[in-house]
Structure 1
Amino acid sequence: MSAPTDVTLELDDIQRGVLSPRPTPYAATYLVFRIDDRAHGRELMRRASLAATSAADLSSPLGDTWVSVAVTCWGLEALGVPRASLDTFAWEFRQGMAARARALGDVAASSPKNWEAPLGTHDVHVVITAIAPDSPRLEAAIDRARPAYDRLPGVTAIWRQDCYALPTEKEHFGYRDGVSHPAIEGSGIPGSNPLEVPLKSGEFVLGHSDEIGGVQTPEPTGLGRNGSYAVFRKLHQDVAAFRRYLRDNSTGTQDEELIAAKIMGRWRSGAPLALAPEHDDPALGADPHRRNSFLYARDDPMGFTTPGGCHIRRGNPRDASVAGEARLHRMIRRGAVYGPPLPEGVLEDDGVDRGLMFAFIGARLGRQFEFVQSEWMNDGVFFGAGHTKDPIVGSPDEEAGFTIPRRPVRRRLAPLPRFVVTRGGEYCFLPSLSALRWLGDMHD
């Protein structure tokens, strides 16, 4: 289904990182900066407006290479944005991710007190992200962005994370990632599910009408319009523990892969259980035009094929009957792996940090990212499963096992250890290109 042609977005003013799916394969780098001098911070914004790539640049000579610039609430404060303006931003953004830890399930090992410094602190002001199809072009993109922050002694680089996506598109647990991308009215970019009606642009771009007719724009309009919110999280993956869990709860290799598919909702090839319920179909998993073309309500309302508690059904219930309107919680999700893969067959941790750099893009931090994280990932009430957690990223649950619905008797697996630990992250604002210039031109 194509997006209506009467909806337009000012693509030349929206950062490309808001709307564009990432290339495959790709390399990426997150660079975090602290602003120690307001004038230098504003000069950074002015220069960044020249380095950042717009959503209109889909056919530019740079191809699938781009730079995005995001600012935290503490960064806007450091730049001198007035309090009256800051108060018009989402209250979750103003609090910051660390302050929202309990609501997000970031407890125990994932608590902010255990996060990687300086993540979660008020020192995180600006996040520059560079994306390219390979490492040489990534370094070239960073070189092009370097003039934005080079020779500014009042701007200090405080953290860097390199990450990547393989040609196989798989993350460390072995699943194909980045399969689902929503269609957004006016973007000109098709969604990955032809059965999904395009979402209103205001769900992802501030200053535009959303699914319920609302328009949210931080003030002044020159700062807020055509921006978006971005969440980034560094998530450590305990690959060895995940492999041991599958081995210990299965009757053999074939059963192990079935359990892995039931936990995720897809086979590791990317083929969904909804379209390949009995066996993996690698050809289907590799086909971007078919692997996400399915719904739940007609063919699997009770979750006998794709369990209601599996990862992808929690993250996007599609047309299934759940508490609340699923479209109001739709997100753009992007992930890139960091760290080397754990060699195949290894069941003991090697002490190397590896995981996923997770990114969310949307205009409603509360009812998109936070709602999904707290109500769908860390609770099961919305689909009638009590307080069960997501089997992949849910907060620790020492008692509940994972249930696989089946007739005549459901299958109950052992309690799930925590496979994913939050290492840090932040809520950011992705200004429009004109807003970057606005920040650069501010005067006290």
Structure 2
Amino acid sequence: MALLQHLKDRFRRERVTLQLGDIQALILRSRPEPYVGIHAMLHVDEAEGGRDLIARLAKHIPSADDWTGDLHAWTGVAISHAGLQALGLPDSALASFPLPFREGMAARAEQLRDFGENAPETWEDAYQGKRLHIALTIYAEDKAALDEAVDKAMGELRASRGVTLVGTHEFGADEDAKNPFGFRDGISQPVVQGAGVEPPPGGGRALAPGEFILGENSESGQPVAMPEPPELGRNGSFVVLRKYDSRPGAFNDFVRQHADGEQEQEKLAAQLVGRWRSGAPLNLSPERDDEALGADPQRNNDFDFKGDERGLVCPHAAHMRRLNPRGTSLTILTDENLHRIIRRPSTFGPKWTPELTASDDGREPRGIYFIFISARAYDTIEFLQQEWINRGNFLDLGKERDPVVGLHEEPGTFTIPEQPVRRRIDGVSTFNRLRGGEYLFMPSLTALRWIGEAGWKD
């Protein structure tokens, strides 16, 4: 629980300007470490019954207001456009949402570069044919707290009608909070102006709240376009959910093939990611892992890439540097602050071990739900997929793709700048295969009640 305590220590009530009591806790409150949880996917068969369930669930959704309280588990609710339609929202409200959200993730495969083994027709049933209407997510600090929260949520589902449970998936990680490849995850998060939390060392300035909360001013000085009416849109946000099956054995094999000895293999793995497995960034510990640094929230994010313009410490192609350039000079100019995201990833399956090989992949489900929150979520994920993940032009790397989450329909290349000449490693494959996903809207608590009560009929 060190991470949550760190956040509580930085919270200052006098700095709050947002309506925290109306914002779902999952948007602004980080997950615990260790954590357990569950994703439940629901389909609305009948509008009135679906609205009744939303009204029932709304009573169990904590707000972002209680940063210092004793909250052991929290539930979040997000709804797809097809779900809002199935709940009976009026056409005027449905039409007020942006086009990518209205179309849904599967229909945006071209923009997302979801081809081949990542194409929508390969996805799991829960994500096919716009079946996912309501995504219910519960995070908890331990199994007992999770069971209590699940009992409440499933009790409301059983008491409702006209809603079908189409899938569930449990997840969790121990106090190391490591992903399927053995790397500490969820370290770097933006700070939101008005949320009352002071930026940590290296966290950069707090970003305008409208980048994450609808109805607030964004980095442009104006709010991002918001769904109407205000009772529906204000204090909500958008969510990207993408489920990946991971191939840590293939990752291990790749590292073993291209580096000799344990230390060199760990160094190559860190170069692919941008951090050592503990979470210690290469730029603060270039030659070896530093577990104390990786576990210290006061230090593990206190760096940028100034002074490493050539990428001799952290390669430009590293996963972390691609998705958060931190002042790197980009060939294709863009405002990186407009692409910052609040991440809520959740890992599932057995822990990573160095003995895993490609032959082990698929024997037991291992993977990650890549979940992030932003008022520009659909624009951001499509930009990331097109430019920062599945191309390399923005860093003068041509067609080179992200080595960790990129789709490699053919064996790819990873470039490591070295003196006197750079080193290119061939044979990068798809280490994370997409198994489904959706664009979702996370309403405010007011909006959940408005939907549950069919407020548009008043």
Does TM, scored on the shorter chain, surpass 0.5? yes
Return the letter of the residue paired with 1:381: N
Change (3 A) 1:385 1:217: same
Q: CA deviation at 1:2?
A: 9.5
State the secondary structure of the residue aligned to 1:162: strand
The offset of 1:57, in angstroms, is 2.5
CA contact (8 A) 2:254 2:427 kept: no
Q: Which residue of 2 aligns with 1:312?
A: 320
Q: Distance in 2 between matches of 1:121 and 1:166?
A: 35
The verdict on how the C-alpha distance between 1:76 and 1:179 changes in structure 2, with shifts beyond 3 A counting, is same
Distance 1:9 1:331 in 2: 18
SS in 1 for 2:415: strand
Per the TM alignment, residue 64 of structure 1 is displaced from its structure 2 partner at its CA by 3.7
Show the 5 A alignment for 1:27-426. 27-61=36-70, 63-215=71-223, 216-296=225-305, 298-322=306-330, 323-341=333-351, 343-347=353-357, 348-349=359-360, 351-426=363-438
Distance in 2 between the 1:264 and 1:217 partners?
35
Secondary structure at the residue paired with 2:243?
A: strand
Shift in CA distance, 319/343, structure 1 to aligned 2, threshold 3 Å: closer
Q: Partners of 2:276 and 2:229 in 1: how far apart?
A: 47
Structure 2 counterpart of 1:289, one-letter code: Q
Deviation at 1:108, TM superposition (A): 1.1
What is the CA-CA distance between 1:346 and the residue it aligns to? 2.7
- Deviating above 3 A after TM superposition, structure 1's stretches of 4 or more consecutive aligned residues are 1-7, 190-195
Q: Is the 8 A contact 2:41 2:126 kept in 1?
A: no
Give SS of 1:58's match: coil
Deviates more, 1:419-428 or 1:332-341: 332-341
Identity %: 41
* Deviation, structure 1 residue 364: 0.5
How far off is 1:440 after superposition?
Answer: 1.0
Which residue does 2:26 correspond to in 1? Answer: 17
TM-score normalised to structure 1 length:
0.95
- Counterparts of 1:21 and 1:430, CA distance in 2: 16
Q: What's the TM-score once normalised by structure 2's chain length?
A: 0.93
> Whole-Å Cα distance in 2 between the matches of residues 80 and 126 of structure 1?
14
Q: Which has the higher helix share?
A: 2
Tell me how far apart the structure 1 counterparts of residues 13 and 418 of structure 2 sit (CA, whole Å).
41
Distance 1:195 1:235, change over 3 A: closer
CA distance in 2, matches of 1:180, 1:192: 10
Alpha-carbon contact 1:217-1:224 (below 8 Å) kept: yes
Cα distance change, pair 333–191 in 1 and its aligned pair in 2 (3 A): farther
Task: Give the CA deviation at 1:236.
Answer: 0.5
**Alpha-carbon distance between aligned partners in 1 of 2:45 and 2:11, rounded to the nearest angstrom:** 47
Distance 1:235 1:439 in 2: 31
Measure, in 1, the Cα distance between the counterparts of 2:180 and 2:73: 24
Indicate conservation of the 8 Å contact 1:163/1:336, yes or no. Answer: yes
Equivalent-residue separation in structure 2 for 1:71 and 1:195 (angstroms): 30
Shift of 1:189: 2.9
Letter of the 1:332 partner, please give it: I
Specify the SS of the correspondent of 2:55.
Answer: helix
Q: Give the Cα–Cα distance (whole angstroms) in 1 for the partners of residues 95 and 29 of structure 2.
A: 29
What one-letter code is carried by the residue in structure 2 that aligns with 1:407? Answer: Q
Deviations 1:306-333 (A, max 9, x none): 1111100111112222221111111111
Q: Does the CA-based 8 Å contact 1:401-1:415 persist in structure 2?
A: yes
State the alpha-carbon separation in 2 of the partners of residues 16 and 4 from structure 1.
Answer: 16
- Alignment length, in residue pairs? 442
Compare 141-150 and 226-235 and name the one that shifted more.
Answer: 141-150
Deviates further, 141-150 or 429-438: 141-150
Q: Secondary structure in 2 aligned to 1:59?
A: coil
Give the superposition deviation at 1:366: 3.7
Aligned-partner Cα distance in 2 for 1:5–1:408 = 54
Measured at CA, do residues 113 and 193 of structure 1 come closer, stay the same or move farther in structure 2, by a change above 3 Å?
farther
Superposition RMSD on alpha carbons, in Å? 1.8
1:244-289, Cα deviation, whole Å (9 max, x unpaired): 0000011221111111011000111111011111222111111111
Structure 1 counterpart SS, 2:127: coil
